Amino acid sequence: MAKDLEKEKKLAAKEAVKSIRDHMIIGLGTGSSAVYVIKEIGELVKNGLKIKAIPTSNATQELAASLNIPLIDINSVNTIDITIDGADEFTSDLILIKGGGGALLKEKIVASLTKEEIIIADSSKKVEAIGKFKVPIEVIPFASNYVLRQIELLKGIGQIRTNADQPFITDQGNYIIDADFGLISNPAALAEKLNGIEGIVGHGIFIDLASKVIMGNNDSILIFERKGASHKS
Ligand code: 5RP
Q: If pLDDT is split at 50, 70 and 90, which confidence band does 227 have? A: low
Question: Which phi and psi angles does 66 have, rounded to 5°?
Answer: -65, -20
Residue 37 Cα to ligand 1 middle (Å):
12
CATH of the domain at 144: 3.30.70.260
Q: Are residues 167 and 213 in the same domain?
A: no
Q: Give 2's pLDDT tier (boundaries 50, 70, 90).
A: confident
Residue 160 shares a structural domain with residue 146: yes
Region 115-134: what's the mean pLDDT?
98
CA-to-CA distance for 135 and 102, rounded, in angstroms? 11
Nearest of 13, 62, 77 to residue 41 by alpha carbon: 13
81 and 180 belong to one structural domain = no
**pLDDT higher than threshold 80 for residue 230:** no
Report the separation in Å between the CA atom of 51 and the middle of ligand 1, taken as the mean of its atom positions.
23
Whether 47 has a pLDDT exceeding 90, the answer reads yes
Ligand 1: which of 11, 30, 108, 135 to mutate, judged by most atoms within 8 Å of the beta carbon?
A: 30
Q: Residue 75 and residue 69: Cα distance in Å, rounded?
A: 18
Total number of domains in the chain: 2
CATH number for the domain that contains residue 88: 3.40.50.1360
Average pLDDT, stretch 155-161?
98
What is the band of 226 on the pLDDT scale with cuts at 50, 70, 90? confident
- pLDDT over 70 percentage in the chain: 97
In terms of domains, do 115 and 154 share one?
Answer: no
Ligand 1 — pocket residues by CB below 6 A? 29-33, 85-88, 98-104, 107
Q: Which domain holds residue 61?
A: 5-125+207-225
Kindly give the distance from the C-alpha atom of residue 87 to the centroid of ligand 1, in angstroms, as a whole number: 5
- Please check whether residues 151 and 184 belong to one and the same domain: yes
Distances (CA, A) of 62 to 22, 68, 70, 94, 151: 22, 10, 12, 29, 34
At residue 233 the predicted structure's pLDDT band, cuts being 50, 70 and 90, is low
Q: Which residues contact 86 (CB under 8 A, 6 or more apart)?
A: 9, 29, 30, 31, 32, 33, 34, 98, 119, 120, 121
Residues catalogued as catalytic:
107
